[in-house]
Structure 1
């Protein structure tokens, strides 16, 4: 049992992909968890425990609550059935058994203070596992395990030895040296290590984690029950770049977290602070042109914060592979990606690939807006507004996965105009207030069709003579002169606003 423990929130963040979501948290996520156990009919629950409920045994959750559990975890319908419990309820990846999930949680909780600084790496390892379809471990330069993903039945003997022994067996490290794998890793390659049944090792990919010329560690992806994703090498390159930041921060004992960096990066979007100074602090060149992309998750509002965290992890890996100095910034319920100008694939093409990956892995509709390229960092706030406006315009058109601002410029500008009109009530034709809903729809259709009664009537599903009668009645009620171009324009703007 951990002497100090972690809050439910911190434990969830460390377990990341092994937890599919938060079903309920009636008293928040601040409760302390010191151990993790699997509930059974005869056992007692230690205080401050995360209790894993086996399939079909939801009645045990009530007993766990009475005995002082801090949270419970279950899969699928079982988790949904515990919404009324007075504890946080975690929904677990159904491919992970209760015993394995409890062991994974304990490994996080029982890490010593030095190891606990690698919490971000557990999250990263799970994200890499999700994106590659493999089984992931992160090791330091000496082969000691820093973090790993939840594993399925496909884990090989070498993986089990590595996790249980907290490090890669020396026999395998010796073979690595003999095969010349290390030289290729530190040259920046993603290296394929062939299957070796005699060593209990399935096929693997490995990439080095580096800071300049300094070797910090490695990320391993073992092939499990299914083939690795075609983009696995790209994913590993991005993950290695992110891991170097996490490892250096952990090794230095720095208290600054990824969340601190996110909060500083929000300043680049809002322009509330010295943009150039913030850019330099975050390792970006303030004078470099930067493309601005925004992502929106169109799922249930209650699930949005959790899904947004998952989306940020996946996006960070892909963005780091695309541009080493890319920034991924969650803000205002959206994800913003700042991509310093580069040659090669356009931001729109890269964004299309990312949206597909997010849709596939999150199981929720995702839309993206490519706002354009700011000539330097201080111009980013204006493009941030353009990106969010673009997403507003296409929100009711989920088939549009990636939209460039230029494609919907008129709609975006009109929305800004309507917002201005809403703040200035006198800038409208108040004579139209006398119209009912049907009359307003009829006049709108007539104006949108440029006075083509047949086309407008078809859109309204009424006879053309019916629409002619309505238009004459509207003009009589309001005094509107539809032969006057100015009056037509003002009427159309008023109805749209």
Structure 2
């Protein structure tokens, strides 16, 4: 498809000078919007482009009009229409500096280009010009980007992500995750009672389940019973979760149904049938979170303009990684830029031998899916993203203050569920609460450092910033002693002496310093006589020349000896 025809326009055809002078941009295939139509927005194009492009910076946010798509190449001296997306073919990195300035001067909305050297400097240019900057991903082709963007500008109905099958794939994955977390048999239906996704079945599947999957529709004889019982009426009236009892005459087992809504509009339902085993006590919580996630996918399935789940995750990743200024994405994510936010990092702690990329990818996807389900149930505007083998969770506070104890209890429950489902010693670090979105990247780094400290804590499942702050800071300081230029050679000699002669002088000296010289306490801990400890300390001092009366040297000795004990 080369593009969709736009509505009639009073603009001259491509190639003719517009009134008022200037040259039209090359490749203008769409003629703008008919008068009175609501223009598309940059966010709509980002949603539709999905994995084809990455938003690098958006100085004016993403809720800005997008009224045209133009192509420019090196050497073009084009006047870019106001509100246009400029496709900079053949221009990379710093070479696009002049083009971006010109686009900003002309009032264009965004420039898309291939990434290249000097892209970081180009960020500053785009910020100053007030132009959003998009970079194409490796798999994107210019004709794809042009076609999708033109369709968005022309108000053509395009499924976010381009392929309805993508939505189906996401929904099937979600259905299987719900089944895993609830212990039930899951089906997801749209508002017309068509089955759009389902989990794997077992011998506990009842007649309604089997027939619905075979025909992809709920049979009428079952629908009539559900209507008679008022199930759909209760869902439309606003109930989130409805219990449906067994009905032996029709071979119905008990099930629970959740409404999937966009605002007050019912988009569909999630059905969890009890199989051979009872449902999990947390089924209602899982369904509430799943319904919020399913709403994003069902919107895609219906072809309505909305924020796709994939784009939301990408933007959350860009926010937490610091690749995009918070101001450029918070509006798109529906967040208050000044709201308090708790940042949580989760590490699956998968065995090191699991190096197969496909297995690792499946594990990461499953972890993200489970966290997303629980997070959506706990906090409606929660953001979940996956970066470098870890899952990051952003919990915005909507009530003004954060209840740290409640968040910790919830994270403990989440980690317990993850450990049960993944079979690995999952750990989570709850970073400090930040008072604005601009502080999120720093909080993420803090959470990463906390997870690194937790490696030495055995089976510790969850830790808070307050609990680990001293350990994290100490880790940072101790890390300096990896540099030989920082270490005291005499203390290195002491450690090597212990290794060669089987003595314990370095550890004894460290414990002595840690205990502020309390000989009795340290000797008891080492199970030696106090005089033995005194002898060890004197030997260590003699070998190193350490002046115990110098507080600075004492402190540095403690840090270096502590660093030595942490080395492999």
Q: TM-score, normalised by structure 1?
A: 0.72
Q: Does 1:439 align with 2:505?
A: yes
Three-state SS of the structure 1 residue aligned to 2:455 is coil
Residue 164 of structure 1 corresponds to: 214
Residue 409 of structure 2 corresponds to: 349
Contact 1:445 1:460 in 2 (8 A): no
Residue 318 of structure 1 corresponds to: 374
Q: Does 1:196 align with 2:247?
A: yes
Please list the CA deviations of residues 384-418 of structure 1 after superposition, one character each: whole Å capped at 9, or x if unmatched: 12212222222232342221111122111111222
Size of the aligned set, in residue pairs, is 384
Aligned pairs for 1:326-345 (under 5 A) are: 326-343=382-399
The correspondence for 2:554, drawn from 488, 492, 497, is 488
Residue 470 of structure 1 corresponds to: 536
C-alpha distance in 2 between matches for 1:399 and 1:223: 33
Please list the CA deviations of residues 106-127 of structure 1 after superposition, one character each: whole Å capped at 9, or x if unmatched: xxxxxxx745531000110011
**Judging changes above 3 Å, is the alpha-carbon distance between structure 1 residues 124 and 418 closer, same or farther for their aligned structure 2 residues?**
same
Q: Does 1:383 align with 2:443?
A: yes
Contact 1:125 1:147 in 2 (8 A): yes
What's the CA shift for 1:155? 0.3
Give the unaligned 5+ runs of structure 2: 1-162, 355-359, 499-503, 564-568
Three-state SS of the structure 1 residue aligned to 2:433 is strand
Give the unaligned 5+ runs of structure 1: 1-112
The correspondence for 1:415, drawn from 460, 471, 475, is 475
Please list the CA deviations of residues 261-316 of structure 1 after superposition, one character each: whole Å capped at 9, or x if unmatched: 43332221122321121222233232221111121222313445433322211110
Please list the CA deviations of residues 213-260 of structure 1 after superposition, one character each: whole Å capped at 9, or x if unmatched: 222111000011111111111111110100010111233288996555
Please list the CA deviations of residues 59-117 of structure 1 after superposition, one character each: whole Å capped at 9, or x if unmatched: xxxxxxxxxxxxxxxxxxxxxxxxxxxxxxxxxxxxxxxxxxxxxxxxxxxxxx74553
C-alpha distance in 2 between matches for 1:250 and 1:479: 74
Residue 453 of structure 1 corresponds to: 519
Residue 141 of structure 1 corresponds to: 191
Three-state SS of the structure 2 residue aligned to 1:301 is coil
Aligned pairs for 1:68-147 (under 5 A) are: 114-115=164-165, 117-147=167-197
What's the CA shift for 1:380? 0.9
Q: CA RMSD in A?
A: 2.3
Residue 40 of structure 1 corresponds to: none
C-alpha distance in 1 between matches for 2:363 and 2:510: 39
Contact 2:296 2:308 in 1 (8 A): no
What's the CA shift for 1:170? 1.5
Between Structure 1 and Structure 2, whose CA radius of gyration is higher? 2
C-alpha distance in 1 between matches for 2:540 and 2:284: 65
Residue 174 of structure 1 corresponds to: 224
Three-state SS of the structure 1 residue aligned to 2:540 is helix
Q: TM-score, normalised by structure 2?
A: 0.64
What's the CA shift for 1:477? 2.1
Three-state SS of the structure 2 residue aligned to 1:299 is coil
